Amino acid sequence: MTWDKDGENAQSVDCGRLTALLIEATKQQQGEVREQQVELTKAQQEIKQQQILLRAQTAAMQSLEAEVRDARQTLRKLKTQVAADQTALVAAK
């Protein structure tokens, strides 16, 4: 590149040298893009694995919630039965 005498304004550009710089910059940028694509693919795979795990944990939690509901219902029935038995015992005395 050549400059005016004031050193602020460019007069001409050496296209051969600039082209080489641009080619190398493009190669470097393409390498960075490839690395980012690999990282993105890994992140997407991790997300898929986490989604699978989350679905499995959600199903397990729903199953446990159903068991808790059943246990509560059984306890209510037992409480009712115990109360009835106590009433019957008191009446029998």
pLDDT at 58 over 70: yes
Number of domains in the chain: 1
11 neighbors 4 (Cβ within 8 angstroms): yes
pLDDT (mean) for 53-76: 98
pLDDT (mean) for 24-32: 97
Q: Is 8 helix (H, G, I), strand (E, B) or coil?
A: coil
pTM of the model: 0.60
Instruction: Write out the residue range of the structural domain in which residue 15 sits.
Output: 2-92
Which helix or strand (DSSP H or E) is residue 93 part of?
A: none
Q: What pLDDT band is residue 16 in, cutting at 50, 70 and 90?
A: confident
Q: What pLDDT band is residue 39 in, cutting at 50, 70 and 90?
A: very high
